[in-house]
Amino acid sequence: MGLSKKTFFYSMALAVVMVAFVVGYFVFMLPSLYVDYVMESNLDSVVDIQKGYRQSRTYEDLSVKNPSAVYSLEIPKEGREFYLAGKFFKMTVKVRDEELQGLFDRMRAMVKGIESLKEEEIREYKEEDFFHIWKELKEKFSEKDLFSEDFPVEIQVEAKGGDGVYREEYFKFHRISDDLFVYEAGVSDGNFSYTTYIAMGQEEDAYIFTVLPTMTPRMEEITPVVMGSLPMIIAVVFLLVLLSSHYFSGKIVKPIIRLADYAESAKQMEGFDSHGFVSDSHDEIGALGETLNELYEKLHASYRELEGKNRMLEEKNQRQEVFLRAASHQLKTPIAAALLLVEGMRNEIGKYKDVKAYLPEVKKQLLSMQKIVEDMLQLNYQAENREREMVSVDELVRETLKSYGVQTEAKRFAVEFKGSGTALTDRELMKKVIDNLISNGVQYTPEGERIEIEVEGGNLRIRNYGVVIEEKLLPNIFEPFVSSMDGRGKGLGLYVAAYYSKILGLELTVENIENGVQSVLKFKSEQEIMEI
C-alpha cells in the first residue's frame, strides 16, 4: 500500500474515531448532563420563587416557569387560616374542622423543628411524618362535597389579572387521521415559552378532547450544557488526535528513520560489510529500501572487484620488486668479477698483463650477466604468464645439481639424492624455486658435511647438515635480507623461493633438525592430481 493510501486510511480512521467519540458523547453523556442541568435549573428556579415570594408575598413581579402550575402555600404560625397563591390567583382557606386544625398545628411544629436538623435527619424525618400527615389529609378530604356545609375548610378565591402575561406566538393544525385532529398553540410570557396540544376526536356517542400543556424547549437550556462540556471535549479530542498522530506518524516515520540509520551505517562501514535493509512494508519506503539494497549490492560487487584488482597490483608490484632484487642479487657476482678483471688489465697487475688471455674471461663474465638478465626477464614474463604442465621434479633436481658440481667438489661434501615424483606446475618457476633452495643449502653447508635431497609423496625435502638457523630468525626467514649472523649471503634466496612458491600454489617450510636445516616443498603428487 502506498504512502498516499496509508495517509488516507489513517485520516479516515482518525475521522471515524472522532465521529464515534462525538456520537457517543451526544448519545450517552449529553442527555444525562442536560437532565442534571435542568434539574439544577429547576432547583434554582424554585429557590428564587421562594425568596421572591417571601419578600413580597405576591407573584406579580416574579419570573415563573409555567405560571399556571406554580403556586406557594403560606401557613401562618398561628390561627386557622392559610393561603395558596399563584400567578393568576390567591386563595384564602379557613379551617373549620378541629382534627384538621390539629394536623396543621403538627405540620407547623414539624417545619419549625426542621431548621435545627441535619440533612440525613431531615430525610428520615420527612419519611416518617410528612407522608403520614399527607395521608391523613387525603382521608380527611376524600368523598367530601366541596359545597357542603360540613366541608373541613372554607375557601375564598381572589382571581389575579392574567392579561398581558401571555402573548400568542403561533398555532398549527395537524390532521392525524380522518377522525383525529391535533391543535397546537404556542405562547410566551417573555421569559419562557409554552406549547399546548389539544387532541380532538369523536366516537359514536361523544366528542372527546385531550389537553396537554408543556413547556417549549429552548436553545438557551442546552447551550450552557454544551459550553460547559467544551473543555472536556477539546481535551479529549486533542488527546485522541495526539495519540493517533503519534501512532500513525510512527508507522510512516519509523521506516524512514530505519532507512536513514541503515544508510548511515553503510556509509561508515568499511568494506561494505553491513547487513542489507529489511522492510516489511510494501509502500514507497519499502521500494526505496529495495533500491538502496540493489545499489548496495552493486557497490559491494564493485568494491570486491576493486579489492581483487588492488591485490593483483600489489602482487605485480611485489613481483617486480622480487625481480629487481633477484636480478641485483645474481648480477652482483659477475659484475664484481668483470670489474676486477678489467681493473687488473688496465693497471697491468701481475698475470692480468696478458690482456689477450683475460679478455675472454671478461667476455665470459659479461655473457654471464647477459644470461642472468635474459633469465630474469624471462622469469618475470613467466610469472605473469604461467603455463601449467606435468613436470618431473626429480629431473629438475638433477639438472640443478649439475650446475653446482664445482662448488660441491670445492667444499668436499656429498650430495645424496633419491626418490621421484611429478607436479602440475610451471616448469621454469618450479626450477627457480628448487635452484634457490639447493643454492641456499650449498652456500651454508660447511666443508666436509653432506646434503640429502628426497622426492617422495608430493614432497621435496632438502636437508643440509652442520649448520642451524638461529631461533630468533626462524619466524622471519622468508623476509628479504634476513640471513645468518656470519655475513654469508644477503638473505634473498629463501625470499625468492617463497615468493615463487606462493605464485605456484606450493607450500614451503624451513625448520631446524638435529645438526641441520630441513626445507620442505609440498606439491600435488601425480596420485593426488588423478584423484582430483
What are the pLDDT digits (tens) for 114-134? 666 565 655 555 555 666 777
Q: Cell 639438472 belongs to which residue? A: 399
- pLDDT for the residue numbered 360: 77
Q: Categorize the per-residue pLDDT at 379 as very low, low, confident or very high, splitting at 50, 70 and 90.
A: low
Q: What is the pLDDT of residue 522?
A: 93
Query: Which of 400, 424, 384, 382 is CA-nearest to residue 528?
Result: 424
In the structure grid, which three cell numbers stand for residue 24, read together? 457517543
Distance of CA 91 to the CA centre of its chain: 82
| Confidence grade of residue 363 (pLDDT, cut at 50, 70, 90) | confident
Q: Note the pLDDT tens digit of each residue in 271-291.
A: 555 555 556 666 666 667 677
Write down the CATH superfamily of domain 386-532: Histidine kinase-like ATPase, C-terminal domain (3.30.565.10)
What is the pTM (predicted TM-score) of this model? 0.42
- Hunting for cell 607436479 — which residue is that? 423
Amino acid identity for residue 408 in this structure: T
Q: What is the pLDDT of residue 117?
A: 57
Angstrom CA distances, 488 to 58, 205, 326, 327, 482, stand at 142, 152, 16, 18, 11
pLDDT of residue 463: 93
Please answer whether residues 455 and 420 qualify as being in contact, where contact means their C-beta atoms are separated by less than 8 angstroms: yes
Whole-number pLDDT of residue 508: 92
C-alpha cell at 364: 665470459
User: What pLDDT, on the 0 to 100 scale, is given for residue 143?
Assistant: 62
5-28 pLDDT, tens per residue? 667 777 787 788 888 888 887 777
Expressed in percent and rounded to 5, the helix, strand and coil fractions of the chain are 55, 20, 25
pLDDT of residue 487: 44
Amino acid at 360: P
Across all residues in the chain, what is the average pLDDT? 77
Provide the 3-class DSSP secondary structure of residue 73: strand
418 falls in which pLDDT band (50, 70, 90)?
very high
Residue type, 336: A
pLDDT value for 517: 92
DSSP 266-302: HHH-GGG-SPPP-----SHHHHHHHHHHHHHHHHHHH
- 485 confidence band (pLDDT: 50, 70, 90): very low
The predicted-structure confidence for 208-253, as pLDDT tens digits, reads as follows: 888 888 877 777 777 777 787 778 888 888 888 888 777 777 766 6
Q: How many CB atoms lie within 10 A of CB 427?
A: 18
CB 72 within 8 Å of CB 47: no
Within 13 Å of residue 139, how many CA atoms lie on the same side as its CB?
8
Is the confidence at residue 314, as pLDDT, over 60?
yes
Q: Is 143 left (phi over 0), alpha (psi -120 to 50) or beta?
A: left
Higher-confidence residue of 2 and 427: namely 427
**Cβ burial, residue 294 (10 Å; 0-12/13-18/19+):** exposed
Q: Inter-axis angle of helices 393-403 and 427-444, to 10 degrees?
A: 50
Q: What confidence tens digit (pLDDT) does each residue in 46-96 have? A: 888 888 888 888 888 887 777 777 888 888 888 888 888 887 888 888 888
Half-sphere exposure of 374 (CA within 13 A, CB side): 6
Longest dimension (CA), the chain: 189
Read off φ and ψ for residue 192, nearest 5 degrees.
Answer: -130, 155
With 60 as the cut, is the pLDDT of residue 530 above it?
Answer: no
**pLDDT value, residue 282:** 61
Q: Which position has the higher pLDDT, 385 or 456?
A: 456
Residue-level pLDDT at 214 = 81
pLDDT at 498: 86
